[in-house]
Structure 1
Amino acid sequence: MSLIVTPTPSKENSPPARKRFSLKLWIGVPCALILALVIILSQIDLETVKENFVQRISQETGLKVAMESIGFSFSHGLGLQLKGVKVRSPEGNHFSVERLHLLAEWSPLLKGEFKIKSVTLEHPEATLEIPAPLPKVEEKQKSQPETKLIDPEKIQSAASKVKSTRLSIKKLIVSNGKITLIRAGTAKQVSLSVDGIFVLNRSPGEHLDISASAVKVQTGAIIFAGDGIASNLTEDNAKISLNLKSNGFSWEEMQSVLDFLEHKETLTALTAVDVQEFLIKAEIPVSSLSQIETLQKQMIAHVKLKTRNAILKMDEKSYPIEALEGEGILEKGILTHNFSGTALSSDFKLHGKLPLFNLDKDATSHVEWKNLMLEKLAKGLPWAPTQGKVSGSLTLTGPLPKEKEPFPGKLEVDFQVEDLLLKPTDGAHPIEVIRLTGHGDFNQGLLQHEIHTTVWGSDFDIKGKLQMGQGRPVLNSRINWQGLDVSQLPLPSTGWQASEGKLTGTLTLIGPVPGAGEKFPGQLKTSLKFAAKNLKLHNKSSPDYPLLALNQLKGTGEFANHQVNYNIKGGTFKGTFQSDGTIILSASGSRPPVLNNRVEFANLDLSQLPLPMPATAGNISGHIKLNGPLPDAEDLLTGNLKIDTNFKVTGLNLSTDTLPIDIQQLEGKATLDRGRLKHNLNGTMFGGKVKTKGALLFQKIKEETLITADSDLVLDQVNLDWLPLIHKGTPSAGTVTGNLKIKGPLPTNGKISPALKLNGILNASKLVLGDQQIGKVKLDFKESSSTLTQVQVELERIKLGDRGFKKFVGLLQITPEKIDLTGGQVWPMNGLIKLVGDFKPESKNYRLKFKGDKLKVEEFIPPDLMGPLQFSGAVTGKLPQNNDSPGLADYSRDLSGNIKIKLVDGTLPELGVLKNLLILLNPTSVLNTGKTGLSYDLLAGDFKIVKGVVHTSNLEMKGPEIMLTVEGEANLVQDTINAQVKAMPLQMLDKTIKAIPLLGQILAGGRKGGVIESYFKVHGKLSKPKFTLQPHKTLLEKPGSILKELFKLR
């Protein structure tokens, strides 16, 4: 059919009939065409077309096809509309479409043929099952046939079928499609929304191209859009090209896809990310789809990525990557990448080439970062950075390492740190690093490093090698530093700390690095060389401890195989010292270090040493050798450490609150071995000479250390004025000379053991102990047995306060149970006292027998009595315990015994307590007591003491003037008295008055008469007794006269 169109006449010249003809023509022609089309279409049997169409597609594709209905459609042009189409593949996958529009070609239609040129799918749905991944095998079996990714022959066969088929489809349009992917054997599935236009281009030759445009694939909020083409599908050089770009999506929106793909575990370090842009362009030869290795080599891809707010979590710590963008090109299995971004507030760049599929090929990668904030790095380190920025670069060259294998290539790193401040987690002083730069080269497992830093006021240079292989890394590094300010070092919380000083040195480390759980330095061989000046150390555990000043200190040391070899020299306390030797450490740390050392010192100023007593002058020289395991401080004397020493002290002056102590010279040697100290000492000190030689045995029992001696002690005119500094109950003056053999346990806690044996003689002179003085002392320690020690004691010129004694002698026999005194004799200025007794140190019980004859009572209790004295008796008791200042009551509490006294032809120059008694007899008589006394012919009595209570029934005083008898008791513990006194005149009243006016006034009662016999009660405090007259027992009562005389006294 053809249509001829001629020019139309103008409106003015055309007649009306002509106009009507043109209008009919324009209306009639389309109607005729429509009518013709309707006639043609009415001749088509749609049911037959439906059956042929279903049968043809099934034959060509091998798919089972079914549809509900077919009809003509004009919505997309003239074509067929298929409804309810359902397709099922032999593998069980399903496909359905709500409406399918087939657009026909006009030219074949006018010839009576119906050819489809395009297909439009509305709301297609497909369900595809993804097979489960094959289980991993340890080794690939050679007999197993290689699985192909996609068989290119199938693609070419399908393309040939499409090309040879009589179907004339040129375009496929998908609208609102849905694909549901199901993971075989699980309930996991994901839905994809698909839109796109696919065009088949058959060239006149053998070429078949399929192009895709306006492709859109969406799952959830993730959308990929783009185009692509599969060209030359029937040829050997067929390839597939695609170009996709995504929208922005978040980490949460990716979770469903990652969970379905079962790749979530590969991204466990990634906890958050926002993808702003993801673009991929790829060219894939169809022939490369047969093998994954071929695909990796021949695929060309271009990826562009842009993310924000990514967070990586490693070892329970999070690291933010604020921004990342860049692109990568994959060609021939090599990924050429160029990325930049911001991580931990630091800008970084990353570029290089990575062989993604052939790990044996060399990779090159270069990383640069600037101003990385160190405080944002991993926490929990012993020294955590609180500020500081690091910049640097890292270059990687070589094959990527396989799993659990070290990096086999080359690595080069450079870094610079600024304003670094390290703060310890234990609260110690922070460390400020002024400068820190470094460079490292890693090649074939060997890291050569060089670091320079300024810290603690010193420049540090670290240079060396670190070999990393299959085992532990092996280090060979040297650290040099100059002028280190030791006051800035991290200080320990206890012990010695450096407050001043400069330190220079070199530290070398060679050997394997300590492994996990192994203490530093492990198997490292370490050597140290150092020199220090003007060091000042103080003990933080003892703030009152004086400073330790070292004006110079230098030395060397080596550590290898758990053994330390060292040599140290220094100057301190105005002298010098040197120490060298070895220290062997336990590999497990369960045993103490073993020492083999020697220390020499010369001319150390003792006035600067922290001695128990401060010294104002003196110096010491000598040496000490140590050999054996180092014990704890409390076990030093009893441990297995052998100590040999000799020394010499000169000009030592110790300053005390009371007196200076001078030790002109002291020298000797000693060896301590397994708790036994052999010693040989001699010196000039305390104004005399001292020499001792022997051994001391130290034994630790529970918490106490007992000392047993077997030594000789020689003293020559040694002053004793220093003894009160050691024990307050010792002489403050005097000298001692002697030669003693000392054997047995030495005193502990102030207690002298009876097992201590002494043999020899000690002579002392001019001893002073408070108000007590002894002109001469001789102690003769006689030969003793294992259970008996005998000491002959001789004391001369004894003065106890205002009382003097000419001499004392006695024999002390000491056993573990008690101390016996035999043959004791005391010579006062007049007479003799004989003593016998014993004392039990453990219980403090004592017994004493005594007898005194031809004594003068005024030597013992002046000025109350005068005259000859005799006494005898025996007492037992117990010395006070846990009382520093015992009194009469304390000594009397357990006192018991019998005492008899007898005084004859004496006087009472001062009446004392009798004054109160005489006042009661005649108050006016005491007015003249200062001029006269009371004489007696006999003053005697017997006393019985029971637990501090003194009883008497026969105490009497007979004299020419008066006779007194006393009966009663006195409690020495409670200081009370309860007794009865009878007073009676013994001469004529007038004779008595003339002879003794005082007594006459009492007996006569003035001029009004007197008393012949009176009874009195003594009571109250023993120290201040009261006298009460008992009138009902007085023969001649004159109470009125007595009362009047009492009133006169007032």
Structure 2
Amino acid sequence: MSLIVTPTPSKENSPPARKRFSLKLWIGVPCALILALVIILSQIDLETVKENFVQRISQETGLKVAMESIGFSFSHGLGLQLKGVKVRSPEGNHFSVERLHLLAEWSPLLKGEFKIKSVTLEHPEATLEIPAPLPKVEEKQKSQPETKLIDPEKIQSAASKVKSTRLSIKKLIVSNGKITLIRAGTAKQVSLSVDGIFVLNRSPGEHLDISASAVKVQTGAIIFAGDGIASNLTEDNAKISLNLKSNGFSWEEMQSVLDFLEHKETLTALTAVDVQEFLIKAEIPVSSLSQIETLQKQMIAHVKLKTRNAILKMDEKSYPIEALEGEGILEKGILTHNFSGTALSSDFKLHGKLPLFNLDKDATSHVEWKNLMLEKLAKGLPWAPTQGKVSGSLTLTGPLPKEKEPFPGKLEVDFQVEDLLLKPTDGAHPIEVIRLTGHGDFNQGLLQHEIHTTVWGSDFDIKGKLQMGQGRPVLNSRINWQGLDVSQLPLPSTGWQASEGKLTGTLTLIGPVPGAGEKFPGQLKTSLKFAAKNLKLQNKSSPDSPLLALNQLKGTGEFANHQVNYNIKGGTFKGTFQSDGTIILSASGSRPPVLNNRVEFANLDLSQLPLPMPATAGNISGHIKLNGPLPDAEDLLTGNLKIDTNFKVTGLNLSTDTLPIDIQQLEGKATLDRGRLKHNLNGTMFGGKVKTKGALLFQKIKEETLITADSDLVLDQVNLDWLPLIHKGTPSAGTVTGNLKIKGPLPTNGKISPALKLNGILNASKLVLGDQQIGKVKLDFKESSSTLTQVQVELERIKLGDRGFKKFVGLLQITPEKIDLTGGQVWPMNGLIKLVGDFKPESKNYRLKFKGDKLKVEEFIPPDLMGPLQFSGAVTGKLPQNNDSPGLADYSRDLSGNIKIKLVDGTLPELGVLKNLLILLNPTSVLNTGKTGLSYDLLAGDFKIVKGVVHTSNLEMKGPEIMLTVEGEANLVQDTINAQVKAMPLQMLDKTIKAIPLLGQILAGGKKGSAIETYFKVHGKLSKPKFTLQPHKTLLEKPGSILKELFKLR
């Protein structure tokens, strides 16, 4: 139907009849059309249309369609309204719509045909099942053909079917639609609300376009809105264009979608983010949907992103990205990106180009950051930054690396650090880095670096190369520093540390970097050159030890193949030293280092060395050679390290609390090899000369080191005043001269082994040991066998306190079991004492036989007795052990034996304990004897000793004044006495009987030879005894005899 419009005349020229006709025409035509439409519609059978419509759609789409009712609708124009439409696909997907409005075309309708112009869906609902992801295949199956992303042929076939179908739909309007996506095999689902207008444009040719506008897709709080178009869908150049923009949404609001898509594992590092804007524009050729690689090559996309408050979590540590915004453009497979933002309180920019499919093509990326807060970086480092800011840039150019391959392109980095403060986790002193700048270039696996910093008061320059390839990185770097303040170095809390000094040097590192688990430096070849001034070292393990001062120290060193070559020299202790050699280290660290070194020193001031005994003066020069594995300190003497040395000491003066020790000169050489020390020493010291030559053998048994000697010792007028510093029981004065051959184990823990053999003569003179003095000593060590050592001892001019002896001689025969004394003779000032005995060092047991004749008792126990003395006897005992100051009780505890003494024609100048006894007998006799002493004709007795208890039954003293007999015992250990004394005061009785002869007969009881006897008990402390008179024995025993004689007088 067409409508032809012709020009109309003007009002002035138109007749009135013509006007009325036009008005009727404009009113009549619409009415006629409406009437005709009503007539046509009344002729349409809607039920038939419904069945034909359902049948037609099912045949052409393969869908199962059902509807509740159909009727005419005029709400959107003339059309049909379908209610309760339900559609089911062969795959089981469901689609339903509450009301479906089909808007008809007018022209076909006037011809009696019903063609759909547009479709409006009100409250449509669809349920779609998303296939489950394919299981991971084995490595060998990965070569199978890749599944197509979307088959373009299917899209073109569907478009052709739409184009060829008799359905005349041109527009599809979706209102309040709902799509429910279900993940196959799971209970996961997500709901989408959809609104939009979709227009189908069919050209007379083969073209088919579908445009979308006012599109709105929403799930939860996430909304995407925009438009798009799919053009030329039936052609090879078909493409899809879209333009979508989201609202703002948070990380929590994304979780349900991510969980449904099962892509959360790809975002595990992201723990929070607020998306403020997300926009995507894309043009996608339909033919590119077959494969991801083709899609990346041919699609054009523009993405704009704006986020806030993102948090990345890596290695249990969180990193905030406060803001991020920018855009990316994908074209021809290259992603051009430009982003900026704030992370870790630092502003950064990122831009560049990134190929997504052709990884062999160069990618470019440039990152700039400013004022990055270092304290917000990863924690748990040995030296964690507590303050500091870093700014810099990073540029990458080159193809992206494949999996497990190094970056093959170029990298350039520059950085500057300000106000850096590093604090160790072990509480050591923080490190302040005043300045730190650096630059690095990486190209084809080679990193060239240059770093400049100021730390520890020194400028450091680091420059070199790092080659990274298939194996371990290979380093070639040099570190220079000037004026390093060593006191600021983070040194260990034990051992030797530098407290003062400046250090300048160069360190070069060449070779592969140590791998995981490999100790530094591994296979690295290192070289060091250094110079130090005014160094002071202190042993932190011994805070009281003196400082070690090095006024200068310089040297070089190299390390390669686990071997150190070095050469150092310096000045210390007012002298000089130099050391060079090699040190071989074990690759596994299981074996000790092997040394081959030489140390030379000259004119070292011994007064500044930390010696065990402080020195006030002295110098030493010499050298030491070391060759062999380095043992532990406790195994130095018995290890396999060979030590050769020679030295010369002059003017050594050792200061002690009691006396100075002067060593005018001492020189010699020694070699220690596998526990054997060969030595040859001579010197002038202690006022004489000393020379020794031979060997010492060191053996470690359990925790003790035993020393066996095979040496010659020559002494010439050596002063002995230094010996008490070594052992308190040695002479404090005297000199010694001698020539000895020493062979056997040396004393250990103060014990002398019987296996020690000496051969030669020692002569000493003027020995002083406390209050004991010996004018001359001669020890003649005779030839000995493996089990016997013989020493002839001669002592002259002996003074023990206030007692003197002219001479002592004796032969000591020493075996591993005991020491025998034979031919022992002691000459006091009067008489002779002969001695024979033995001593067992292990058990401390001894035996002694002695006999003294023509002696003077006052030489031994003055002033208690005076007169000639004879004694003899034999005793056994055991010397006290573990007692530094033994007394009489300690020596007497195991003492046993027999002793016989005899004194004649002597006196007791001092009465001592007898004074108490004489007072009981006759007080006046004490006065008389106190002036001249108590004389005796005989004092003798036998004593038997058992475990420190002395028994006697015949001790008697006969003299002109008194006669005593004693019977009892004395306990030397407990200091007690229990004895009975019978006394007869002869002097008073003799005078009375001479004046009155008859009185003697009466007192004697008529018996010839009888006299008055008095009995006493001696008891209490042996050191202070008590005397008690026994009257029942003294007065009552003879009263009848006396009375009887009195009666005879009548």
Q: TM-score range by the shorter chain?
A: over 0.9
TM superposition shift of 1:1025? 0.7
Measure, in 1, the Cα distance between the counterparts of 2:578 and 2:47: 118
In the alignment, is the contact (CA less than 8 A) between 1:573 and 1:604 conserved in 2?
Answer: yes
Higher mean displacement: 694-703 or 118-127: 118-127
The residue aligned with 1:475 is: 475
In the alignment, is the contact (CA less than 8 A) between 2:1002 and 2:1042 conserved in 1?
Answer: no
Measure, in 2, the Cα distance between the counterparts of 1:1049 and 1:471: 142
Higher mean displacement: 139-148 or 708-717: 139-148
Q: Which runs of 5+ in 2 are unaligned?
A: none
Structure 1 residues 865 and 1047: CA distance shift in structure 2, 3 A? farther
The residue aligned with 1:463 is: 463
The residue aligned with 2:516 is: 516
Measure, in 2, the Cα distance between the counterparts of 1:384 and 1:502: 26
TM superposition shift of 1:6? 19
Measure, in 2, the Cα distance between the counterparts of 1:399 and 1:824: 105
The residue aligned with 1:52 is: 52
- Report whether the alignment pairs 1:955 with 2:949: no
Higher mean displacement: 67-76 or 467-476: 67-76
TM superposition shift of 1:292? 3.6
Higher mean displacement: 511-520 or 263-272: 263-272
Measure, in 1, the Cα distance between the counterparts of 2:1048 and 2:86: 153
Paired-residue identity, %: 99
- Report whether the alignment pairs 1:257 with 2:257: yes
TM superposition shift of 1:423? 1.5
Q: Deviations over 1:2-36 (max 9, x none)?
A: 99999999999999999999999999999998776
Measure, in 2, the Cα distance between the counterparts of 1:1003 and 1:685: 81
Structure 1 residues 290 and 875: CA distance shift in structure 2, 3 A? closer
Mapping for residues 902-913 of structure 1, pairs under 5 Å: 902-913=902-913
TM superposition shift of 1:961? 1.4
Higher mean displacement: 49-58 or 108-117: 108-117
In the alignment, is the contact (CA less than 8 A) between 1:1011 and 1:1037 conserved in 2?
Answer: no
Structure 1 residues 603 and 1002: CA distance shift in structure 2, 3 A? farther
Q: Deviations over 1:269-288 (max 9, x none)?
A: 22222222111011122333
Structure 1 residues 833 and 131: CA distance shift in structure 2, 3 A? same
Structure 1 residues 938 and 19: CA distance shift in structure 2, 3 A? farther
Measure, in 2, the Cα distance between the counterparts of 1:954 and 1:827: 29
Measure, in 2, the Cα distance between the counterparts of 1:744 and 1:296: 93
Measure, in 1, the Cα distance between the counterparts of 2:1045 and 2:409: 130
Q: Match of 2:297, SS?
A: helix
Q: Deviations over 1:820-851 (max 9, x none)?
A: 00000000000000000000000000000001
In the alignment, is the contact (CA less than 8 A) between 2:417 and 2:437 conserved in 1?
Answer: yes
Higher mean displacement: 124-133 or 216-225: 124-133
Higher mean displacement: 72-81 or 356-365: 72-81
Higher mean displacement: 473-482 or 265-274: 265-274
In the alignment, is the contact (CA less than 8 A) between 1:924 and 1:1045 conserved in 2?
Answer: no
The residue aligned with 1:371 is: 371
The residue aligned with 1:178 is: 178
Measure, in 2, the Cα distance between the counterparts of 1:424 and 1:104: 82
Q: Deviations over 1:299-326 (max 9, x none)?
A: 1110011122222222232222222111
TM superposition shift of 1:1024? 0.6
Structure 1 residues 992 and 536: CA distance shift in structure 2, 3 A? farther
Structure 1 residues 863 and 78: CA distance shift in structure 2, 3 A? same
TM superposition shift of 1:1011? 9.9
TM superposition shift of 1:930? 4.3
Q: Deviations over 1:442-485 (max 9, x none)?
A: 00000000000111111000000000000000000000000000
Q: Deviations over 1:936-973 (max 9, x none)?
A: 11111111111111111111111111111111111110
TM superposition shift of 1:1015? 1.1
In the alignment, is the contact (CA less than 8 A) between 1:896 and 1:944 conserved in 2?
Answer: yes
TM superposition shift of 1:1044? 29
Q: Match of 2:511, SS?
A: strand
Higher mean displacement: 138-147 or 358-367: 138-147
In the alignment, is the contact (CA less than 8 A) between 2:460 and 2:482 conserved in 1?
Answer: yes
Measure, in 1, the Cα distance between the counterparts of 2:1046 and 2:316: 105
Q: Which runs of 5+ in 1 are unaligned?
A: none
Measure, in 2, the Cα distance between the counterparts of 1:990 and 1:799: 45
Q: Deviations over 1:192-226 (max 9, x none)?
A: 22111111233456543321111111223322111
In the alignment, is the contact (CA less than 8 A) between 1:1010 and 1:1038 conserved in 2?
Answer: no
In the alignment, is the contact (CA less than 8 A) between 2:911 and 2:930 conserved in 1?
Answer: no
Q: Match of 2:910, SS?
A: coil
Measure, in 2, the Cα distance between the counterparts of 1:291 and 1:607: 88
Higher mean displacement: 1032-1041 or 900-909: 1032-1041
The residue aligned with 1:541 is: 541
Measure, in 1, the Cα distance between the counterparts of 2:910 and 2:188: 126
Measure, in 2, the Cα distance between the counterparts of 1:334 and 1:514: 39
Q: Match of 2:987, SS?
A: coil
Structure 1 residues 721 and 138: CA distance shift in structure 2, 3 A? same
Structure 1 residues 874 and 153: CA distance shift in structure 2, 3 A? closer
In the alignment, is the contact (CA less than 8 A) between 1:923 and 1:1045 conserved in 2?
Answer: no
TM superposition shift of 1:493? 1.8
In the alignment, is the contact (CA less than 8 A) between 2:1002 and 2:1046 conserved in 1?
Answer: no
Measure, in 1, the Cα distance between the counterparts of 2:887 and 2:312: 85
Structure 1 residues 1003 and 958: CA distance shift in structure 2, 3 A? farther
Q: Match of 1:637, SS?
A: coil
TM superposition shift of 1:574? 0.6
In the alignment, is the contact (CA less than 8 A) between 1:457 and 1:485 conserved in 2?
Answer: yes
Measure, in 2, the Cα distance between the counterparts of 1:56 and 1:664: 131
TM-score by length of 2: 0.93
In the alignment, is the contact (CA less than 8 A) between 1:925 and 1:998 conserved in 2?
Answer: no
Structure 1 residues 393 and 1001: CA distance shift in structure 2, 3 A? farther
In the alignment, is the contact (CA less than 8 A) between 2:921 and 2:985 conserved in 1?
Answer: no
Q: Deviations over 1:111-146 (max 9, x none)?
A: 543332211112222233334455666889999777
Q: Match of 1:255, SS?
A: helix
Structure 1 residues 537 and 1047: CA distance shift in structure 2, 3 A? farther
In the alignment, is the contact (CA less than 8 A) between 2:774 and 2:798 conserved in 1?
Answer: yes
Q: Deviations over 1:1024-1045 (max 9, x none)?
A: 1111111112248999999999
Measure, in 2, the Cα distance between the counterparts of 1:13 and 1:199: 49
Measure, in 1, the Cα distance between the counterparts of 2:758 and 2:1046: 67
The residue aligned with 1:298 is: 298
Q: Deviations over 1:368-415 (max 9, x none)?
A: 111111111112222111211111100000011111110000000000
Measure, in 1, the Cα distance between the counterparts of 2:869 and 2:331: 134
Measure, in 2, the Cα distance between the counterparts of 1:325 and 1:998: 153
In the alignment, is the contact (CA less than 8 A) between 2:965 and 2:981 conserved in 1?
Answer: yes
In the alignment, is the contact (CA less than 8 A) between 1:650 and 1:664 conserved in 2?
Answer: yes
Structure 1 residues 853 and 1010: CA distance shift in structure 2, 3 A? closer
Higher mean displacement: 892-901 or 228-237: 228-237
Measure, in 2, the Cα distance between the counterparts of 1:503 and 1:1009: 110
Structure 1 residues 897 and 141: CA distance shift in structure 2, 3 A? closer
Measure, in 1, the Cα distance between the counterparts of 2:667 and 2:855: 53
In the alignment, is the contact (CA less than 8 A) between 2:765 and 2:774 conserved in 1?
Answer: yes
Measure, in 2, the Cα distance between the counterparts of 1:999 and 1:225: 162
In the alignment, is the contact (CA less than 8 A) between 1:232 and 1:238 conserved in 2?
Answer: yes
Q: Deviations over 1:839-873 (max 9, x none)?
A: 00000000000010011111111111111111111
Structure 1 residues 1022 and 800: CA distance shift in structure 2, 3 A? same
Q: Deviations over 1:494-520 (max 9, x none)?
A: 101110000000000000000000000
In the alignment, is the contact (CA less than 8 A) between 1:794 and 1:807 conserved in 2?
Answer: yes
TM superposition shift of 1:147? 5.0
Measure, in 1, the Cα distance between the counterparts of 2:789 and 2:427: 63
Measure, in 2, the Cα distance between the counterparts of 1:550 and 1:595: 24
In the alignment, is the contact (CA less than 8 A) between 1:925 and 1:997 conserved in 2?
Answer: no
The residue aligned with 2:814 is: 814
Measure, in 2, the Cα distance between the counterparts of 1:1004 and 1:480: 122
In the alignment, is the contact (CA less than 8 A) between 1:651 and 1:662 conserved in 2?
Answer: yes
Q: Deviations over 1:66-122 (max 9, x none)?
A: 222211223333321112222333444332222211122345444543332211112
In the alignment, is the contact (CA less than 8 A) between 1:66 and 1:86 conserved in 2?
Answer: yes
TM superposition shift of 1:935? 0.8
TM-score by length of 1: 0.93
In the alignment, is the contact (CA less than 8 A) between 1:791 and 1:812 conserved in 2?
Answer: yes
Measure, in 2, the Cα distance between the counterparts of 1:986 and 1:853: 30
